[in-house]
């Protein structure tokens, strides 16, 4: 149950950061996108780059 809860929290953080449509992203992709947004990258670009 902890992994599921952690993934939910990551998805919520991504949503709060403006990364829309993150429901099909993996945990690794979410972390990468959040890291990129934290460094100042636009949410759309961060999502696109993380999904590569």
Kindly list the domain boundaries of the chain, sorted by start residue: 2-50
The predicted-structure confidence for 4-41, as pLDDT tens digits, reads as follows: 999 999 999 999 999 999 999 999 999 999 999 999 99
Residue 37 makes CB contacts below 8 A (sequence gap 6+) with 17, 18, 19, 43, 46
Residue 1 has pLDDT above 70, yes or no: no
| pTM assigned to the model | 0.89
């Amino acid at each position: 149950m902890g992994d599921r809860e952690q993934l939910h929290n990551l998805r919520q953080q991504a949503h709060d950061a403006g990364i829309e449509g993150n429901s099909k992203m993996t945990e690794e992709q979410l972390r990468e996108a959040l890291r990129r947004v934290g460094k100042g990258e636009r949410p759309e670009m961060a999502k696109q780059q993380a999904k590569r």
